[in-house]
Amino acid sequence: MVLKIAHFGSLAAFALFASLPFLWMLITTFKQDADLYNRANNPFFFNMAPTLAHLKELFHGTLFLNWLLNTAWVGVLVVLITLFLAIPAAYSLVRLAGRWGERLGIGIFLTYLVAPTILFIPMSRVVANLGLQDSLWSLVLVFPTFTVPFAIWLLMGFFKTIPQDLEEAAMIDGYSRFGAFIRMVIPISTSGILTVVIFSFTLVVQEYIYTLTFVTTASRYTVSVGVPTFLVHGDVYNWGALMAGCLIASLPVVIVYNFFVERFISGLTLGAVKG
């Protein structure tokens, strides 16, 4: 009985620690300013009536909607590019490349570790030389550098679990190797592909440093950089709208992600743990 309470208690403590900022975001989104900036009031309750004013301010008074659209647009394009590059590559590494395929696969995965923090400075020059400075296309071009390696790794793990007999059967039926790949392997891989889509999109939404470096016009920012940079007017933060923005941009990602965690971990631990 004591064990149960301790179990529940520590769980509650961890969950609280993890979600505290977000819970506070939720409350503050609907809190009136006079309520918020009053030190005497309990920050965790509504001491005055909740308000929708911050949401209105967020959507009408700032570029938040632009940023959301930019993020979505970049996300979709990057995911498509990632799928286009990663699916054939992963298949090739697993089925067609033999011994050195495994090595190459690990090598590609390691580039995931290198990417933004070391590369952002020379990358800024590359982007400028291509004339993509301050354009969302620079993001579309560069983001796959961290989504593709990880996608290839995830998909490799996934393709390994598909028995070869399916493709053999297709080839005996008259399809070419490539045809077997398109007709048999891809339809079966929908869950793996969906996982890659979710994670790539998450990585895009979270990205900060490339966006900060390449983009300078306010309307072209993504949510991740736009909110901290522009909803902070000097030293005066419009906290209500700010929190609303953070919450709206975070929640969908979190909810969807939770469904795919196991597969993600399996990929992350290099197959040391079966997902």
Partner 1 sequence: MGPAVKTTESILHNRNKQLGFIFDNKNVLGFLMIAPAVIYILALVGYPLVLAFIYSVSNITIGSSDFSFVGLKNIQGLIGDFDFKTALYNTIYFTAVSMIIVLVLAKILALILLKDFKGKFVIRTLVLMPYVAPISLGVIGWLWMLDSIYSPINWLLQHSGLFGPDFWPMWLGKPNLAMSAIIAVHVWRMLPLATVIMLAGLTSIPQDIQDAALVDGAGYFRQLFQITIPMMLPIMLVAVLFGIVFTATDIIIILVLTRGGPYGSTQVLVSKAFFTGIDAGDLATGAATALFLFPLLAAVAIFMLRIARRAEVA
Near partner 1 in 7-26, by CB under 8 A: 7, 10-11, 14-15, 17-22, 24-25
Instruction: State which of positions 24-83 bind partner 1 (CB under 8 A).
Output: 24-25, 28, 36-37, 39, 42-44
Q: Which of residues 238-257 bind partner 1 (CB under 8 A)?
A: 239, 242-243, 245-246, 249-251, 253-255, 257
Tokens 């940023």 map to which residue? 67
- 88 near partner 1, judged by CB under 8 A: yes
Number of chain positions touching partner 1 (CB under 8 A): 105
Under the binding rule (CB under 8 A), the answer on residue 134 touching partner 1 is no
Tell me the residue type at 75: G
Tokens matching residue 119: 């590369």
- Which pair of tokens denotes residue 31? 């809190």
Select 154 or 227, whichever has its Cβ closest to partner 1.
Answer: 227
Out of 61, 125, 134, 160, the only residue in the binding site for partner 1 (CB under 8 A) is 125
CB closer to partner 1, 188 vs 228:
228
Site for partner 1 in 146-185 (CB under 8 A): 148-149, 152, 168, 171-172, 176-179
- Name the minimum Å distance from CB 124 to partner 1: 7
Q: State yes or no: residue 213 binds partner 1 (CB under 8 A).
A: yes
Is 190 among the residues that bind partner 1 (CB under 8 A)? no
Rounded least distance, CB 271 to partner 1, Å: 5
Q: Which residue of 118, 186, 194, 218 would you call a contact of partner 1, by CB under 8 A?
A: 118
Residues 219-238 that bind partner 1 (CB under 8 A): 223-225, 227-228, 237
Q: Which of 65, 69, 113, 186 binds partner 1 (CB under 8 A)?
A: 113
